[in-house]
Structure 1
């Protein structure tokens, strides 16, 4: 672990490096990144006379919401911001056995700050792009930089027609609602610099940059501890939308749509055929622009377009890199059917003294790789 350095910053507003007592008591760190949220957990070993119990907890060092935590792993001189978030929970587990008492600090990424206050406010004569940017503007004070992609089908209503209203909802819940109806995703991802995060509102896109391959069953080249795959034959479906003809608005026209996501194309030569059929009649009652938005939202749904899922674990020191979510990664040694490129859906970091491991989940559609080689 000589080329790995862990930095832990804690404090209100602007966190500072954790004191030596906190570092000495730290026994483990877990950081999880999934599709829409990120979370962390710090585990400390404490005793009756530990400064964490006698001083820091009473004075509010780990108070929820007001305490900000930044976790940075530096490998080979390159820093990776694993987490920038707020404490949400404390858990103390005293024990009569010496050395068995633990203090666990749990938190979420900075989007939890958007999930505290429920508001009711109108947004007259504003489209989704303007609404999301307006809601995210105050969070620039936390270092959250908005990255808002305009909806493919923009809808603007005049005040006479009506307007969108945030009705007794938190900012995170309301932006998530807007993202769902546009077929988009919303999340806050820590980094790339310390004390900086990116609030992404847009299509579910993975960076088309392949990471070093995950190798299994390749003797000395093996760099993962476990790897497994599942093909779900019921994952894909065809949805039939019903719309009325534009002239009489009385004749129903069925429009079948397959699972095709332009932002996440199949990574296998043999795509999994759809096995289910669903019917959607709600779009028939909507205006043409809103119906088109619903249809595009279905086409952009990643969950319906990936029939193959994978999961595994690796040792970062053996892998030589930090596996990043929302990027591509190659797989070698799993056989002709499952080798090739995959989308990295989620990653969980587990750090202990002398150990840095990751659990991950992958997804794609189609058997047999559509690329002859993957980056080693």
Structure 2
């Protein structure tokens, strides 16, 4: 798929995908990839006729079988390759039609975290093993898929005494990794790239890469590079969470600790911070050790809600590059209140022959930018 400096490449196959056959490329109707905070999903729709090799040979031979079929999507924009998806097919759907050119085959898939969610572990024990060691031990099994781990140890190590408690892994690897992330106030996800066949498994605090992407420009005549962009401020999003822990000496006296709804790792990006509108009490803190409760409190701080959100669409050719999720981006032309830096939370890539558009969602906390300008 080639148009105006944009080219889509498809790699398909088990374990180490190879370039897709030309007939598969020619039959591609649409491609959609959605990257959210913890998951990347994709969907490819092909136009198929009765004599198409997709139906007569590839589908019967297992070329599109779920789980065993890996697909990598690479978009090259102005000579710069971007791996936007790397995952496995989870289902396929065939929709026959009497109308010529209307029969379709649709492949739906998820990133390689799906491979970590297939086997239920009966009872795995990790005596005296810290969280970071457990994470690396689990992720080592997936190195054959090109997954490289980047894990950040919890701020306060919580290593249990093996004579009193032994950490136990029950369920899938993905479920356990997400459980450990939740207990540490962290996130876990797999980021495709930076090259085809490589992925990064990230376990750590929810931060955004501090190098902002080129600004999204609105209401600026010829300089405008987005099609739509709207903002909203929800005054009910901010809250104060009270975490109750037991005193470290008698373990009987409850101590309430108010935790502000401001992330230290994701600064508000605005001068006028939205005040909290409610107070919530965190359940379960009193049953945890002091270190575990402290990590939970840090998790509340790190996962603070943003009161300002923005939704929009853009044409990649006009924008000049691919907008990436889990990063930062500037906004200009929206006025004093809403200009400035934002966090990119989700991005949906929509490609079809001759067109490449993206839907995106942004967020931050506070009106009026706290920076003097944004990246052009």
Correspondence for 2:319: 319
Q: How far apart, in 2, do the equivalents of 1:261 and 1:70 lie? A: 34
Correspondence for 1:253: 255
Q: How far apart, in 1, do the equivalents of 2:10 and 2:211 lie? A: 29
Q: How far apart, in 1, do the equivalents of 2:197 and 2:114 lie? A: 15
Cα displacement string for residues 35-61 of structure 1 (whole angstroms, at most 9, x for unaligned residues): 000011111001112111111100111
Matched, 1:144 2:147: yes
Correspondence for 1:348: 348
Distance change >3 Å, CA 24–CA 297, structure 1 → 2: same
Correspondence for 2:165: 162
Q: How far apart, in 2, do the equivalents of 1:246 and 1:170 lie? A: 34
Matched, 1:66 2:106: no
SS of 2:156 mapped into structure 1: coil
Correspondence for 1:36: 38
Q: How far apart, in 2, do the equivalents of 1:286 and 1:14 lie? A: 44
Cα displacement string for residues 214-254 of structure 1 (whole angstroms, at most 9, x for unaligned residues): 01111101100111111111101001222344444444332
Correspondence for 1:200: 202
Correspondence for 1:124: 127
SS of 1:324 mapped into structure 2: coil
Cα displacement string for residues 245-281 of structure 1 (whole angstroms, at most 9, x for unaligned residues): 4444444332211112111011000000000101235
Write the mapping of 1:89-128 to structure 2, written as runs, cut at 5 A: 89-120=91-122, 121-128=124-131
Q: How far apart, in 1, do the equivalents of 2:284 and 2:66 lie? A: 42
Write the mapping of 1:1-376 to structure 2, written as runs, cut at 5 A: 1-120=3-122, 121-167=124-170, 169-301=171-303, 304-376=304-376
**Normalization by structure 2: what TM-score?**
0.97
Q: How far apart, in 2, do the equivalents of 1:73 and 1:118 lie? A: 35
Distance change >3 Å, CA 250–CA 62, structure 1 → 2: closer
How many residues in Structure 1 have an aligned counterpart in Structure 2?
A: 373
The offset of 1:182, in angstroms, is 0.4
Farther-moved stretch of structure 1 (273-282 vs 204-213): 273-282
Q: How far apart, in 2, do the equivalents of 1:9 and 1:328 lie? A: 29
**Normalization by structure 1: what TM-score?**
0.97
Does the 8 Å contact 2:237/2:276 carry over to 1?
A: yes
Does the 8 Å contact 2:28/2:44 carry over to 1?
A: yes
The offset of 1:154, in angstroms, is 1.0
